[in-house]
Amino acid sequence: MSMPPSSNSTTDAPLYEAEIDLAPIKARRLVIVGYGNHGRAHALNLRDYGVEAIVIALREGSPRYATAREDGFDVMDMDRAAQWGDAFSILAADEAHGQIWRDHLAPHHRAGKAYMFCHGFSIEYGLIDPPPDADILLCSPKGPGGAVRATYLKGGGLIGFYGVHQDASGTGKALALAYMAGVGCGRAGIYPSTFREEALSDILGEQAVLVGGLVALARQGFETLVKAGVSPRMAYIDSVHEIKYLADLIHTRGVHGMYGAISDTAEFGAHRVEDKIATALAPVFEEISRDVISGRFAQDWVADFEKDRESLYRARAAWKDHPLDAAGAQMRAMITKWEG
């Protein structure tokens, strides 16, 4: 099956901070909802860019309260912040957005407020049904929250994507771009996108490649080597530990450059099996695509979240005693000692 077309072409030129006016975000009473990795990084970067009216909204009893206060921010409970703010960056966990919206934000909504989202999940899959008199904006730095801050402190930024799902005020694009520049993405480049594109790309990438696919390949490689008589220690090094080295090469040089940097034996063997593995994976990837595009994954995940993440924690616990992790713990203790 084919993916829905992207809303923007690959020829769209990125925007940079010199082209973007930060006045729209500086003029707002900005509420950062949640103070995890993304919430903290966004708040700190925006403040460094001169955004002064920032409040952190947290649930009562949140363990993040002390950190936000130590960082010098005013902290309010969700309802008080919902009344105070006129622009909201909703950076709590995606699966919690529906509850936050229903219980705290929607009851205090007024025409003209803007709601910004780092991911497309909660809008694309209907966790939030926004009122027509609100601006609904995608403001998505592409990377983990820690990298948003760390890259900024090094003088750079992450590539970002913005989208305007609903523009009741007529100024939504300017606000989204100002926010993106304020978290540092204007240093690297900001591209247009949509909530749908971001949600599909993010979820499919995580499930099929970056997390689910990577772990499955590593596990299969480890188990196959052990079955063939290789020690768990050696199997861990060759099927798990060295992933980082190859990932770093691809990150800095691309796939072509990575192949040029490794041994000819490794490259020759890789080319022999690339298509075989891709062919075997194709039906699995198609199934994942259908699950995500239909919204079934989102429904299942929200249902599990509302049951206190029962299946998630059960699956995580199953890894605790897996031989791969046991071998890894032993080898990491030795490797860390020498690699630092």
Active site members: 119
Report which of 163, 167, 173 is spatially closest to residue 201, judged by C-alpha positions. 163
Report which of 217, 238, 218, 235 is spatially closest to residue 226, judged by C-alpha positions. 235
Report the C-alpha gap between 261 and 335 in whole angstroms: 23
Report the C-alpha gap between 142 and 269 in whole angstroms: 33
DSSP 8-state secondary structure symbol assigned to residue 57? E
CB 150 within 8 A of CB 183: no
Pairing of strands 160-166, 190-192: parallel
CA-derived radius of gyration, the chain: 22
Instruction: Render the burial of 155-181: b for 16+ CB within 10 Å, e for the rest.
Output: eebbebbbbbbbbbbeebbbbbbbbbb
Q: Give 76's strand partners.
A: 57
User: Residue 38, Cβ neighbours under 10 Å: how many?
Assistant: 25
Pairing of strands 135-141, 114-117: parallel
φ/ψ of 137, rounded to 5, equals: -125, 140
3-state class (DSSP) for residue 3: coil
| E-state strands within the chain | 30-33, 54-58, 74-77, 87-90, 114-117, 135-141, 160-166, 190-192
DSSP 8-state secondary structure symbol assigned to residue 114? E
- Close Cβ partners of 95 (under 8 Å, ≥ 6 residues apart): 121, 127, 301, 302, 305
